[in-house]
Structure 1
Amino acid sequence: MDHILKSISFIFHPLLMPLLGVIFYFSKSPRFIPKEVIGAKLISLFILSVVLPILLYFLLKTLGKVKSIHLETTSERILPLVLNCIVVIIVIQRILTPTQIIELYFFFVGILISSMACLILAFLKFKASIHMIAVSGVFMYFIALSIHFSININGTLALMAIISGAVATSRLHVNAHTYKELLMGIFVGVIPQLILVPYWL
């Protein structure tokens, strides 16, 4: 059980959650989108939102700016969060513009707001759970998509609820966060997505 709980944090890592949201959108959207466009978007997003942050992490670790991938202190979080905000800005300016796929554009705008809120909290010496920010933000986006496209995804939503609980349990098990930090993570992840819903729903 110990190994399972620890592995959950890696399986549902914050770097992977935005890409999961995009894959889910393309799988459920009733709009016709050429496969070539979908493939290009997914590859671009994978490079920018997964590969690039990993490379930047190793660069920061080499430079002595971070000690581990867990970013255990608020001071360690600041520079990675700044870089993450820059990456998300590039995504919404170059890959997911509002004139192309408005639902995904606002999804990433919500991610940007959550990242900036997490950065502000880091400056205030509060370590909100980035795992919970990511998973709860995607969960809220799935709910909004189900309403937007009038589709029944109750099974998916139930699974996301289980995943959210598993991630929270995992973070508590490894003593990475307190209950307050997990709750703040949920709040920071959900609220931006919820606020932006009227702009595209």
Structure 2
Amino acid sequence: MSTQLFITPEGLQQDEKPPYSPNPVLGAIANFLSYLFHPVFVPLYVIAFLLFVEPFLFVGASGAEKVLTLGRAFINYTFFPLISVLLLKGLNLIGSIKLKERKDRIVPFIICNIWYFWIWYVWRGLPGAPHYLVVFALGVFLASSMGLLSNIYLKISMHGIGLGTATAFLCLLSFDPASSNITIYLALAMLITGLVGTSRLLLSAHTPREYYLGLGVGALGIIIANWVA
């Protein structure tokens, strides 16, 4: 919370200035976008997109195989991380499930890294798993790992990491000749990234630097994954 100084008959006084409070409608929209594009959902959206919207990576895959792949993604990217955070809160190891404090994010980062590593390891050894699927899984794990290290110094934006990973991955796919009409989805991802970033700033959840760093970490994770996978 910021402070301001003013002069009174008693001398120089300091008063706390309340944090910026957005318009209620804008605040509601910002909260909605923050929940809709929460980091535990973004990888699931990307994989669902690969399976059902732009399925050039899964040509010949049956409906059951696609559902199984999406189920694995849901368990490791969404279900286990959510349950882990709820358990941490139940054990009073974190102050809030919203992870507002930097120190509250350390253990969730570590736990999520375990699930992210596991799903990458499974997909890497799975016969017939598309190369780009393995690249994305590795990119998510690397971005989360770098996020954990960055969290030592500042409260890096998890939303930024998630959306940076997704946008960079779609950018990578756009260079593949087999993809079609990917450009419009990449533009949509960039729009969403901007809207969510604005939402986080409106809610005073992050500074611009924290959000931009999250985007950079997410993109770097995909770049490194594509290079080494």
> TM > 0.5 between the two?
yes
Alignment of 1:66-85 (within 5 A): 66-85=94-113
Alignment of 1:83-94 (within 5 A): 83-94=111-122
Alignment of 1:15-30 (within 5 A): 15-27=40-52, 28-30=54-56
In structure 1, the partner of 2:161 is 133
TM superposition shift of 1:60: 0.1
In structure 2, the partner of 1:118 is 147
* Residue from 40, 43, 50 that aligns with 2:78: 50
1:8 and 2:37 correspond: no
Which letter maps to 1:110? G
Which runs of 5 or more residues in structure 2 are unaligned? Answer: 1-25
Q: Distance in 2 between matches of 1:71 and 1:198?
A: 32
The higher relative CO (CA closer than 8 Å, separation ≥ 6) is in 1
Which runs of 5 or more residues in structure 1 are unaligned? Answer: none
In structure 1, the partner of 2:131 is 102
- Provide TM-score, normalisation by structure 2: 0.81
TM superposition shift of 1:192: 1.7
Number of residue pairs matched? 199
Which SS does the other structure have where 1:46 is aligned? helix
Tell me if structure 1 keeps the 8 A contact 2:168–2:222: yes
Q: Distance in 1 between matches of 2:138 and 2:126?
A: 10
In structure 2, the partner of 1:166 is 195
Which letter maps to 1:193? I
Q: Distance in 2 between matches of 1:40 and 1:150?
A: 23
TM superposition shift of 1:133: 0.8
Which letter maps to 2:30? L
Q: Distance in 2 between matches of 1:198 and 1:60?
A: 35
- Provide TM-score, normalisation by structure 1: 0.92
- Aligned residues: percent identity? 28
Bigger Rg, which one: 2
Distance 1:34 1:199, change over 3 A: farther
Distance 1:122 1:135, change over 3 A: same
Q: Which has the higher helix share?
A: 1
Which letter maps to 1:90? W
